[in-house]
Chains A and B, each alone.
Chain A
């Protein structure tokens, strides 16, 4: 079974450039999450969607960050312009809604971003 698929796996870009990270959730999942992981701040939620609608974007650092989910099988996280402090691992995750005793949120392998 295909898991959550993220691309690119690694990206090195220069400060000021636009970065687009992509995510394909597990088929049928209607929750999609974007997390950022850094040594200093740990795992932080940036934004999450339910049925393609953004529910909570309070974690998006600033206007340079934007996320979209145009359909149930695709989401993007865009940083424009990028800055060195944006260097981090960006994880996409997806899940069904919790069903009784069952709930699982699966993560992609992450996109390792370095802004120089």
Chain B
């Protein structure tokens, strides 16, 4: 079963408007972290934002915010005031923690959403 699901292969948004990129996840662990990365056409993976499973408040980083709904197992990325430079592929990822061993596992990625910001 897919651990991370991004159902929007592509999205378009008008410059200066807000956009929401969807992400749902599946885990039986109580402790985990959710990440969003941006991958522009140049190929690098840029960390955007992180949400821990025990965090009660939604994470925010500048124009990025993470709409975390734990009961629904969703972690949507909201980009406010879109800019042309936001055009890129966006990946949602999850990292599970093993409380018993005290160790963290690897990042598991979704398939990505290609965002295009229109002038």
A residues bordering B, Cβ < 8 Å?
31, 33, 42-43, 45, 48, 50, 55-56, 89, 91, 93, 95, 97-98, 100-107, 109-110, 112
CB-nearest residue of chain B to A112: B43
User: Which single residue of chain B is at the shortest CB-CB distance from A43?
Assistant: B109
B68 at the interface (CB under 8 A from A): no
Question: Which residues of A are found within 8 Å of B43, using beta-carbon distances?
Answer: 89, 109-110, 112
Smallest CB–CB gap between A47 and chain B, Å? Answer: 9
Q: Which of B37, B47, B91, B97 contacts A98 (CB 8 A)?
A: B97
In whole angstroms, how far apart are the Cα atoms of A45 and B47 in the complex?
Answer: 17
Output the least CB separation between A33 and chain B (Å). Answer: 6
User: Which of chain B's residues 9-68 have a Cβ closer than 8 Å to chain A?
Assistant: 33, 35, 37, 43-47, 50, 52, 54-55
A41 CB to closest chain B CB (Å) equals 10
Cβ 8 A contact of A104, one of B47, B55, B91: B47
Please tell me the size bucket of the interface on B. Answer: 20 to 34
- A98-B95, A103-B95 are contacts. A50–B103 as well, Cβ < 8 Å? yes
Q: Judge whether B106 and A91 touch: CB under 8 Å.
A: no
List A contacts of B47 (CB < 8 A). Answer: 104-107
28 A-B residue pairs with CB within 8 Å: A33-B107, A45-B106, A45-B107, A45-B108, A48-B106, A56-B106, A91-B45, A93-B107, A97-B103, A98-B97, A98-B104, A101-B52, A101-B55, A102-B50, A103-B33, A103-B35, A103-B50, A103-B104, A104-B47, A105-B47, A106-B47, A107-B45, A109-B43, A109-B44, A110-B43, A110-B44, A110-B45, A112-B43
Chain B binding surface, main DSSP class = strand
Asked whether, in the complex, the Cβ of B50 is within 8 Å of the Cβ of A97, the reply is no
Residues on B lying within 8 angstroms of A by beta carbon are 33, 35, 37, 43-47, 50, 52, 54-55, 91, 95, 97, 103-109, 111-112
CB distance from B55 to the nearest CB of A (A): 6
A89 vs B105: C-alpha distance when bound (angstroms): 22
The distance from the CB of A95 to the nearest CB of chain B, in whole angstroms, is: 8
